[in-house]
Amino acid sequence: MNQTAQPSLDFELIADDEPDLSGLMLGQRLAIAGVLLYFVSSALTKTSLGAMALVALASFVFTLLGAIRLSGELGFSLPKRVLILLGFFVPLVNLVVLLGLNRRVTSALRDASYSVGLFGAYGDGVPKGFWLRVLLLFIALVALGKFIDSYGLHARVDGTPSLAALTADFNRETKAPRVLDDGVRLDGADVFGGDFRVRMTLLNFAGTALPPDRRIKIREVAAQNLCALPEKMRDVFTARKARFMYEMHNARGDMIAQILVSLDACAGLP
154-212 tens-digit pLDDT: 444 444 567 777 888 788 888 888 898 778 899 988 888 888 899 999 998 888 888 88
Number of folded domains that form the chain: 2
111, 128, 151 - which closes a domain: 151
Q: For residue 161, is it within any domain?
A: yes
- Tell me, yes or no, whether 28 and 145 share the same domain: yes
- Tell me, yes or no, whether 224 and 245 share the same domain: yes
Q: For residue 8, is it within any domain?
A: no
- pLDDT: which is higher, 107 or 37: 37
Query: Looking at residues 56-67, what average pLDDT do you find?
Result: 86
What per-residue confidence (pLDDT) applies to 249?
A: 92
- Tell me, yes or no, whether 94 and 205 share the same domain: no
Distance of CA 250 to the CA centre of its chain: 29
What per-residue confidence (pLDDT) applies to 161?
A: 65
- pLDDT: which is higher, 108 or 134: 134
Q: For residue 13, is it within any domain?
A: no
Q: Which structural domain, as residue segments, surrounds residue 193?
A: 157-268
**Whether pTM exceeds 0.75:** no
151, 177, 195 - which closes a domain: 151
- Tell me, yes or no, whether 34 and 131 share the same domain: yes
What's the CA angle centered on 109, arms 104 and 110, to 5 degrees? Answer: 100
What per-residue confidence (pLDDT) applies to 7?
A: 46
- Tell me, yes or no, whether 203 and 139 share the same domain: no
Q: For residue 12, is it within any domain?
A: no
Residue 205: count of CB within 10 angstroms of its CB: 17
- Tell me, yes or no, whether 143 and 173 share the same domain: no
What per-residue confidence (pLDDT) applies to 117?
A: 65
What per-residue confidence (pLDDT) applies to 158?
A: 44
- Tell me, yes or no, whether 145 and 161 share the same domain: no
pLDDT at residue 16 tops 60: no
pLDDT mean across residues, the chain: 77
What per-residue confidence (pLDDT) applies to 247?
A: 92
We report the CATH number of the domain holding residue 205 as 3.30.300.250
- Tell me, yes or no, whether 240 and 195 share the same domain: yes
- Tell me, yes or no, whether 26 and 137 share the same domain: yes
101, 129, 151 - which closes a domain: 151
- Tell me, yes or no, whether 35 and 67 share the same domain: yes
